[in-house]
Amino acid sequence: MKTKIVLILLFSAFISCSKKEKDNNQFKYFDFSFSNTFETCFSIKVSPNDSVYIREHWNVHDIWDSTNVNIPKGETNYIALISKNDRKTLSELISKTQLKKYDYIYSENYSDGQFYRFYFDKDSIKKSIFIHSYKNDVPKELDSLAKWIYTWKKRVRLIKTNKKLDFFSSQYVLPPPPPPSKTIIKE
């Protein structure tokens, strides 16, 4: 009898220790697109596991410095692994968003600078939010989330993939400016 109790206790301890840590994702789907006139244009999709998919639409280094192998290349898809700490931070930032309170667009009338778009499927709400503004009307939660993603993408290791990627948030991402003209003027 004692042996059975000990075996049951050991078995239940083993089971409880081997249970996967619960993921606190408060969202079903999330993607984000960012464009900065003079630097980069990319999209990120967060999957339910530890992978993040990234599409580098355009990067200024494609034009000026294509020799640097550590900088993502334009028109290329990547996959990146997200650490548990980064996943937790991202989940916390997304969980702070209050989609019902936000407008669909925060925009000022200027033609350059940075803009970004979120697409959320969270709390039974599917919502796309476009931001192109320096005003204080942009919710701090969205601004903090965009800054965190931008910074995270710059430091994470990207692995090139041939997987076809689609992003809800990239629907209205503008094309990059054309490269400088190579025309030689003769006098």
Identify which of 175, 179, 178 has the alpha carbon closest to the alpha carbon of residue 33: 175
Cβ contact 51:82 at 8 Å: yes
pLDDT at position 94 is: 92
pLDDT tens-digit series, residues 112-126: 778 899 999 988 899
Q: Domains for the chain: give ranges and CATH numbers.
A: 27-164 (3.30.1560)
pLDDT tens-digit series, residues 46-92: 876 678 999 998 887 766 666 666 678 888 999 998 999 999 999 99
Cβ contact 174:150 at 8 Å: no
| Type of residue at 41 | C
> Percentage of the chain surpassing pLDDT 90?
43
**Beta carbons within 8 Å of 148's beta carbon, 6+ residues apart:** 89, 90, 93
